[in-house]
């Protein structure tokens, strides 16, 4: 799943602390350790200057308090959806100031141009990280579990009217869940499968892979809940996601359920990590064994630690979408199955 920081135009700048700032050019060429950063003065970033009139600094907008995943910082967008440069020194400073020195070192080693992390490198990194996430989705049998959970609601929708029904995967990344469902033909032909993500690089990769396998599914760049993007007939649409919710703060979590309810979608099923000791230990073991990217290894374990509890998910859903009778389908707490590390919050419009 790909997340983005969207920077409101009217947000107020916050003062930055500079004691851990790293000079823009120095990191890219000499890979100086963070302990040397106090001696370096940042140089201007031309691409940052181009955007200065329409956005504040990256550091002023955080999706949630506490620790950050590295990927939270790598693909910021302005309100119009335009990509913004990642100023390396600012991002490194932010992580260092939060005590995340390992994450800061990973980001400081990324290649840069004019003080901004190289966009071509970030695009390739996004695809690599999401290919590694596909391994996790395969291990957790996400396509089978999505199909099993949605089979009943989809049949009811098919019986209640004419025309196709649609499953929309929000924050689909490279679309591994949608592609797997399509490849195994879990649903009948009148069920449309659509994946949506804000990152066009990931959507391009999803389309490329779908073409290679001749899969009957669609991928779209944009906001899944915006008019004309993916949800054209809300009453015959079920919205899903995998690994999205832990990237959202509580206010954004409530907004997600609010938007779904306002549109009147038929139902939703959002899978995310069940926070407990087992999921954290399991995330560390899996990412050490199966992941190669340092970003994946760092963010995977942190995702498990900062995931929302069932109580938090239910409070947000009940406040914003009470008409859906939301429920979290938790597995056993003390003797969990490996598959239960990702469990869904579900709701159907009554």
pLDDT surpassing 90 at residue 23: no
Please report whether residue 125 resides in a domain: no
Higher model confidence: residue 2 or residue 39? 2
Residue 300 — pLDDT band, cuts 50, 70, 90? confident
Same domain, 263 and 163: yes
- The pLDDT assigned to 89 comes to 96
Please report whether residue 257 resides in a domain: yes
Please report whether residue 124 resides in a domain: no
Provide the domain count of the chain. 2
Alpha-carbon span 181 to 188, nearest angstrom:
11
Same domain, 320 and 282: yes
Please report whether residue 122 resides in a domain: no
Q: What is the pTM of this model?
A: 0.80
Q: Mean pLDDT, to the nearest integer, of 60-72?
A: 69
Q: How many C-beta atoms lie closer than 10 Å to residue 328's C-beta?
A: 19
User: For residues 169 and 242, is the Cβ–Cβ distance under 8 A?
Assistant: yes
Same domain, 81 and 157: no
Residue 25 — pLDDT band, cuts 50, 70, 90? very low
Average pLDDT of the chain is 82
pLDDT surpassing 60 at residue 58: no
**Unique residue bearing structure tokens 């949608």:** 178
Alpha-carbon span 175 to 115, nearest angstrom:
32
- The pLDDT assigned to 233 comes to 95
- The pLDDT assigned to 129 comes to 92
Of 62-71, 176-185, 298-307, 308-317, which range is least confident? Answer: 62-71
Residue 284 — pLDDT band, cuts 50, 70, 90? confident
pLDDT surpassing 70 at residue 31: no
Domain of 143: which CATH number? Answer: 3.40.50.150
- The pLDDT assigned to 19 comes to 32
Higher model confidence: residue 48 or residue 30? 48
Same domain, 108 and 197: no
Give Dmax (Cα) for the chain. Answer: 69
The values of phi and psi at residue 60, to 5°, are -85, -10
By residue range, what is the domain housing residue 298? 130-348
Q: Mean pLDDT, to the nearest integer, of 119-128?
A: 96
Crossing angle of helices 142-160 and 176-183, in 10° steps, is 70
Same domain, 333 and 197: yes
Same domain, 111 and 134: no
pLDDT surpassing 50 at residue 42: no
Same domain, 174 and 69: no
Same domain, 31 and 165: no
Same domain, 276 and 201: yes
- The pLDDT assigned to 340 comes to 80
Task: Give a three-class secondary structure readout of the chain.
Answer: CCCCCEECCCCCCCCCCCCCCCCHHHHHHHCCCHHHHHHCCCCCCHHHHHHHHHCCCHHHCCCCCCCCCHHHHCCCEECCCCECCCEHHHHHHHHHHCCCHHHHHHHHCCCEECCEECHHHHHHHHHHHHHHHHHHHHHCCHHHHHHHHHHHHHHHHHHHCCCCEEEEEECCCCCHHHHHHHHCCCCCCCEEEEEEECCHHHHHHHHHHHHHCCCCCEEEECCCCCCCCCCCCHHHEEEEEECCHHHCCHHHHHHHHHHHHHHCCCEEEEEEECCCHHHHHHHHHHHHHHCCCHHHHHHHHHHHHCCCCHHHHHHHHHHHCHHHCCEECCCCCCCCCHHHHEEEEEEECC
Please report whether residue 28 resides in a domain: yes
pLDDT surpassing 70 at residue 47: no
pLDDT digits (tens, 9 = 90+) for 175-195: 999 999 999 999 999 999 999
* Boundary residue ending a domain (87, 117, 147): 117
Residues comprising the chain, all counted: 350
Same domain, 163 and 93: no
pLDDT surpassing 90 at residue 55: no
Please report whether residue 226 resides in a domain: yes
> What are the tokens at 311?
């109580």
* Boundary residue ending a domain (70, 87, 117): 117
- The pLDDT assigned to 46 comes to 47
List all residues 6 or more positions away from 147 whose beta carbon is below 8 Å from its beta carbon: 181, 184, 186, 187
- The pLDDT assigned to 149 comes to 96
- The pLDDT assigned to 1 comes to 53
Same domain, 272 and 225: yes
- The pLDDT assigned to 27 comes to 29
- The neighbouring-strand residues paired with 195 are 169, 219
* Residue 52, CA distances (Å) to 69, 87, 304 in order: 25, 12, 35
Q: Mean pLDDT, to the nearest integer, of 257-276?
A: 94
Please report whether residue 31 resides in a domain: yes
Higher model confidence: residue 7 or residue 310? 310
- The pLDDT assigned to 106 comes to 96
Same domain, 173 and 306: yes
- The pLDDT assigned to 18 comes to 31
* Boundary residue ending a domain (117, 142, 160): 117
């Amino acid at each position: 799943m790909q997340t983005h920081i969207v920077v409101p135009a009217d947000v107020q700048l916050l003062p930055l602390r500079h004691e851990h700032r790293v000079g823009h050019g120095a990191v890219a060429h000499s890979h100086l350790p963070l302990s040397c950063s106090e001696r370096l003065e940042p140089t201007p970033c031309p691409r940052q200057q181009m955007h200065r009139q329409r956005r504040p600094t990256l550091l002023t907008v955080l999706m949630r308090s506490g620790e950050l995943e590295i990927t939270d910082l790598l693909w910021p967008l302005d309100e119009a959806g335009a990509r913004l440069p990642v100023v390396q020194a600012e991002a490194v400073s932010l992580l260092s100031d939060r005590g995340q020195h390992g994450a800061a070192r990973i980001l400081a080693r990324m290649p840069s141009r004019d003080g901004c992390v190289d966009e071509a490198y970030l695009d390739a990194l996004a695809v690599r990280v999401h290919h590694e996430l596909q391994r996790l989705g395969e291990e957790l049998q996400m396509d089978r579990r999505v199909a099993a959970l949605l089979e009943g609601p989809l049949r009811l929708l098919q019986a209640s009217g004419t025309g196709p029904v649609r499953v929309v995967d929000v924050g689909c990344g490279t679309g591994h869940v949608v592609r797997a469902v399509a490849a195994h033909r879990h649903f009948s032909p009148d069920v449309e499968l659509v994946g949506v993500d804000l990152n066009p690089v990931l959507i391009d990769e999803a389309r490329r892979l779908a073409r290679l396998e001749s899969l009957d599914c669609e991928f779209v760049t944009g906001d899944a809940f915006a008019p004309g993007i993916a949800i054209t007939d809300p009453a015959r649409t079920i919205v899903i996601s995998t690994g999205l919710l832990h990237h959202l703060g509580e206010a954004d979590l409530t907004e997600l359920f609010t938007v779904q309810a306002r549109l009147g979608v038929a139902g939703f099923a959002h899978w995310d990590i069940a926070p407990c000791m087992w999921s954290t230990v399991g995330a560390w073991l899996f990412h050490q064994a199966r992941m190669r990217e340092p970003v994946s290894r760092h963010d995977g374990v942190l995702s498990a630690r900062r995931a929302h509890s069932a109580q938090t998910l239910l409070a947000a859903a009940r406040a914003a979408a009470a008409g859906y009778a939301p429920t979290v389908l938790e597995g056993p707490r003390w003797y969990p199955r490996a598959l239960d590390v990702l469990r869904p919050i579900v709701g159907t419009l009554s």
